[in-house]
Amino acid sequence: MCLTETWHKPESYLALNEACPPGYTYLEKARSTGRGGGLAVIHRRNLHLTPLPLPVLATFECLLFKCKLQSITTTIILIYRPPKLHSGFITELQDLLTTLCATSSSTLILGDFNLHVDSPSNHHAAEFLELLDCLHLKQHIVEPTHIKGHTLDLVITDTVLITNLRVYDLGVSDHKAISMEIPQVRPYHKPKRQMQFRNIKKIDPVSLNQDMQTLSSITQFKSLNESVDYFNSGLQKILEFHAPLKTKTVSFSRSAPWYTDELRSMKTAGRALERKSVASGLAVYKLAYRDHQKAYSKALALARSNFYSNKITGSNGNSKQLFSTINSLLKPPTQSHSDNSADQCNRLMDFFTNKVTAIRSSLPVIPSPSSVNTSINSENIFSKFTMVTHIQVENIIKNMRASTCSLDPLPTSLIKSNITVISPLITAIINTSIQTGQIPSALKSAVIHPHLKKSSLDPENLANYRPISNLPFLTKVLEKVVAAQLHNHLLTHNLYEKFQSGFRSAHSTETALVRVMNDVLMTSDQGSSSLLLLLDLSAAFDTVDHHTLLNRLQNEVGLSGTTLSWFQCYLSGRTEHVAIGQAKSLPHTVTCGVPQGSVLGPALFIIYMIPLGKIIRKHKLSFHCYADDTQLYLKMDSPSTLSSSLHPCLKEIKAWMATNYLQLNSNKTEAILIGTPHQIQSSSISNINVFGWILRHYLSPPPASLSLSFSPPAPLPVLTLLSACVYESRCWLALCGYCALQRADSGEFLMPRFALTSELQENPQVSPKAALLQVHIQSKCSHVLTSSAVCCVWSRPVNKKSFLQHVEDLCSNDNAKFQEEFSALPKLLQDLATTDADLPCNRTKNRFPNIKPYNNNRVKLLSQPGSDGSDYINASFVSGYLCPNEFIATQGPLPGTVAAFWRMIWETGTRTIVMLTQCFEKGRIRCHKYWPEDDKPMSVFSDILVSKVSEEVFPDWTVRTLRVERHGHYILVRHFNYTSWPEHGVPECCTTLLKFVRAVRTHRLETSTIVVHCSAGVGRTGVYVALDHLIQHVRDHDFVDIYGLVAELRSERMCMVQNLAQYIFLHQSTLELLNNKGNSQSIWFVSYSALEKTDSLEGMEVTHSLRCGAGVGGDHHVRRDAIEDQLTQISPTGSADSGSVQPGSADSGSVQPGSADSGSVQPGSADSGSVQPGSADSGSVQPGSADSGSVQPGSADSGSVQPGSVTQDQSNRDQLTQDQSKTKGTAHEHHVTVYRG
């Protein structure tokens, strides 16, 4: 089945996995950028399709593959061309078809060409058909394939015969389905084969228990080999008696595990309706069939959701089962090899053996490196094992998985169910082995199962397989007994490598990453960058030298006597063979390496690598290991650090690895330079010489896209995808655990900020930035995590104790540093696509054409069939404090987007809306009213009904409770509307806004996502989210990083905290938070009426600078007043020579009665509804109007007190005026009034 417009994204396989029935797989090709498009071919697993390479195509999407069945090979081309015709389409298609027709004897071309080939007057279609004639290709579709009556989907062949061609409406798309038969290909028959099996379920458990008890009654044997042979042969005879081997023919055809009888009945009924609609041609039957298909689709989705919800919930506490379940949904199916014969097994066995031989022979002969101290204390000697009891053996077996090896005489599940009667015999075998230091040869044989390293790799390439050893059950039990005693010895005598996190309890990829990241951030706090070098080994487990390992066990670990003899026997005389299905290779003798998949193999490898840590420590470098992956990192104080520290260390590592038969993998060895932008740019490192490989970085200076690496965006897409597969809320916690515990060794590690912070705050040596910032590691961004990448962190943390001094420094030199810091912030990230917002169907939904959400974190609504762009809304997920995606930042709804706004509220489960604008501001509509008018009980937006339950009006904000109803269900939404915040500007009092932010967090409904909007959804919205973060951050930490916070917000939505006035307001609010520790006492703050116009939505640039007077002289720490004076550099009164402006002048910032800022509404003013000449909307600016920037004494913005107003702080204000009159400076271009709130 060939599909076009799948709309799946790269590395996203959930929808395709759902579409594949058992026994099927698929080929796919997603659109590389943007949304839409996508191709897929779903086929039976036994029908082997081989993808073919394609040239780069710019005008259409193409999936090319060949299908070979017996002696017939057909080349199939699946094409999708977007509706917008590109002038080069015909040329590109001609080049492709010319090449394929010349090299293929049988070609089939099909897909959605979006050409009206049924219209003779269409010259594009005529040119296309002329091309087909020139290539002797035939187009077979002669009837409409689209519901609007045009022929868009085509089937084209050369020599391939097509029969039974049908075009019919499935009722699920605006395109019709096309089916056909190819007579050259033999009709498909379900695969059948002979299968041997044992009917375990019919075994009598009582009789089996008695037979196993009889077998276990004998525990004394002449030799260990005799006891193992007795064990294996006895269990084999018992199995033959109770479950003899049978043979039957099977077809391996089965339904999905969640497919029920009810769904099967619905499918049968749908087929009947389909046949009736086709036969009769009546519209009534077509409508009935379409309605039935919709109901059937919903039933399928519900059954699948219930199945996976129960499965995920049932995996609580079992992370491996959870990973397996979710990976089966999110990752593509593993491709199987077409050849499962014994010859293929022998080829794989030879490949694995030759690979190890080639690695060992390619290593140069290097003298042993300088020896390290290997003296062992006599107290650390481990000379003999401790005998175990049958109770201990029973406990070990009970905790083992019931997996069975093909070498086992009896299924493991039957042994576990009868463990109490068979444990004495197993215990006797184990004790004899560890007491004599011998292991029977039957327990030293392994079955190798080749596993593809990645499911997307070509199964025909032998190099893509990893050998995984499967050992007999009795071998696993024996190894677990030995491993437990070896671990106890290493732990007791502190012999483990301290910084080795592989294969140890409480040591994982998470702890390794936290430790390395913290060290790097500590170095950054000290003003230096860090160089991180990641070393990877090739086939490390398979090249371990047995002689060297035994020496290490003796000299490093202290093994001797029987214990050492046991390991000598364990490593010698081992054999292995490859098995695929029923086929297997000839056995090979193992001369080196430790078995992957065994219990002892990883533990022995860790011991093998112990000297590496001692070498690195000798050169005073930091490091951390995870199994065979080693990370070296050092502080880059100067360029000489490389030659004095790193290069000598690498030279010795190279010699040690060659001596120990370990080969570095050059393709996976990477280097990353980590630091602040200044630290990176000041670094003189251009390349790094690692064992002769030159690792260069090409990013200089690093772009902002690599710098904004704060919060991991991956959990949201994962959970969004899985939302279609789970239904009950109780399984979401398990899904969040999956997202947080992706493994770093696969490059998909995600460290949630709350987990990082809670763990690090308990450690006094942890970097303060580690609680705020994260280095984001993402496997899919190869341009970020490669040997040529440079990682930067946008961060300028300031200690709370020195924050006042920091603000004073920013105010110095005419506020130049404030302007410089704000200008350095990235307004938007160029490499984050916004193509979804640019689609023609979505452009009109953006209030401002240059304020668009990024594709990667935009809010996606559920698509509505037949409506292009129905999933789009101008809204972005934004992280809160220690909580990813806590907010949704969005624009104020337009008349055409109100319904989409309420759909977003409903679909995201939002219970709280924060509105930071008024619907009508400065003579313009800033937000369409999306709740009922006072005289209306209810408003209807599409299929959503909104009614107002309650409303409370406060001086600066209004709180409403809204009832939102849809399809018979309703929710309550709390609506917080802050009404005292001018557009482009800031509130007059930061105390009031801080109270509002705290009130929202305290009184919001439930702990769901908070939707925040103003007009554009970036300026006031960004300030609100930043304040919410700062309120909680200053409570928990000793530092503040407003610059880094704003940069992080802009990495999630462009232009957040839109202008300089708002950026300064965040610093002013932080001063109040720090000064009052969260209480509501008043302090100095700034009114930014003159700064409101320094930025605009249209320009997105600071078009002019602020010129202010000279700073306040004297001791800046004497009074808070002086700090505020320097922050604003404003003198509200005085002569022109002192830098003041006379009341009523053009630059005074006064507001005449009746102007937009005066607080009252006069006839003809901005709020009266009409426009008078000289008013704010007339196009001209009169002195004293809203746009003149002046403030009259006594107006709302003048800072003075009129009779009858609050006067308890008049004396302080008079003192401020006297202080400011002494300030020397030049005339001001803009003015900011300072007064006590």
Least confident of 395-399, 414-418, 1124-1128: 1124-1128
Tokens, residue 293:
């298909």
Q: Is the pLDDT of residue 464 over 60?
A: yes
Distance, in Å, from the CA atom of 403 to the CA atom of 232, rounded to the nearest integer, reads 17
Residues 6+ away with beta carbon under 8 Å from 1234:
1084, 1086, 1087, 1124, 1125, 1128, 1130, 1132, 1199, 1216, 1220
Cβ atoms within 10 A of the Cβ of 1146, count? 13
Q: What is the mean pLDDT of residues 666-688?
A: 70
Dump pLDDT digits (tens) for 800-828.
888 998 998 888 887 788 998 999 888 87
Spell out the CATH class of 802-915+973-1087: alpha beta
Q: What is the mean pLDDT of residues 1199-1224?
A: 37
Q: Is the pLDDT of residue 1231 over 50?
A: no
Element spanning 67, H or E: strand 61-69
Distance, in Å, from the CA atom of 980 to the CA atom of 988, rounded to the nearest integer, reads 8
Q: What is the mean pLDDT of residues 484-495?
A: 92
- Per-residue pLDDT at 373: 47
Q: Is the pLDDT of residue 696 over 80?
A: no
Angle between helices 419-436 and 473-492 (to 10 degrees): 60
Residues 6+ away with beta carbon under 8 Å from 346:
578, 585, 586
Tell me what the pLDDT averaged over the chain comes to: 76
Q: Is the pLDDT of residue 989 over 80?
A: yes
Q: What is the mean pLDDT of residues 976-994?
A: 87
User: Residue 397's pLDDT band (boundaries 50, 70, 90)?
Assistant: very high
Q: Which residue has the higher pLDDT, 84 or 1170?
A: 84
Backbone angles phi and psi of 465, in degrees to 5: -105, 145
The one-letter amino acid code at 204 reads D
Q: What is the mean pLDDT of residues 165-182?
A: 87
User: Residue 15's pLDDT band (boundaries 50, 70, 90)?
Assistant: confident
- Per-residue pLDDT at 688: 58
- Per-residue pLDDT at 245: 87
Angle between helices 319-330 and 283-314 (to 10 degrees): 150
Cα distances from 57 to residues 32, 88, 152, 303, 808, in angstroms, run: 12, 10, 20, 40, 57
Tokens, residue 636:
């880059």
User: Residue 254's pLDDT band (boundaries 50, 70, 90)?
Assistant: low
The one-letter amino acid code at 921 reads E
Tokens, residue 133:
């004639």
Element spanning 211, H or E: helix 205-215
Q: Is the pLDDT of residue 21 over 50?
A: yes
Q: Is the pLDDT of residue 736 over 90?
A: no
Q: Find, among 754, 750, 758, 674, the residue nearest to 713 by Cα.
A: 750
Q: Is the pLDDT of residue 789 over 90?
A: no
Instruction: Provide the residue ranges of all domains of the chain, joining segments of one domain with +.
Output: 2-181, 344-664, 802-915+973-1087
User: Residue 1222's pLDDT band (boundaries 50, 70, 90)?
Assistant: very low
Q: What is the mean pLDDT of residues 651-655?
A: 89
- Per-residue pLDDT at 568: 95
Distance, in Å, from the CA atom of 611 to the CA atom of 590, rounded to the nearest integer, reads 25
Distance, in Å, from the CA atom of 107 to the CA atom of 596, rounded to the nearest integer, reads 45
Q: Is the pLDDT of residue 346 over 80?
A: yes
User: Residue 684's pLDDT band (boundaries 50, 70, 90)?
Assistant: low
Tokens, residue 588:
């090979």
Dump pLDDT digits (tens) for 713-726.
334 344 444 544 55
Tokens, residue 723:
């939302």
- DSSP characters over 1002-1037: HHSSTT-PEEEE-SSSSHHHHHHHHHHHHHHHHHH-
- Per-residue pLDDT at 320: 72
Q: Find, among 409, 422, 472, the residue nearest to 208 by Cα.
A: 422
Dump pLDDT digits (tens) for 84-108.
767 788 888 988 888 888 778 788 9
The position carrying tokens 């002569």 is 1135
Least confident of 3-12, 262-271, 1170-1179: 1170-1179
* CATH architecture under which domain 2-181 falls: 4-Layer Sandwich (3.60)
- Per-residue pLDDT at 690: 55
Distance, in Å, from the CA atom of 172 to the CA atom of 274, rounded to the nearest integer, reads 13
Percent of the chain predicted with pLDDT > 90: 36
User: Residue 1224's pLDDT band (boundaries 50, 70, 90)?
Assistant: very low
User: Residue 390's pLDDT band (boundaries 50, 70, 90)?
Assistant: very high
Dump pLDDT digits (tens) for 1075-1123.
864 333 222 333 333 333 333 343 332 222 232 333 333 333 333 344 3
User: Residue 365's pLDDT band (boundaries 50, 70, 90)?
Assistant: low
Q: Which residue has the higher pLDDT, 678 or 186?
A: 678
Residues in the chain, how many?
A: 1237
Per the DSSP assignment, residues forming a β-bridge with 447 are: 470, 577
- Per-residue pLDDT at 974: 95
Least confident of 36-45, 422-431, 661-670, 939-948: 661-670
pTM: 0.53
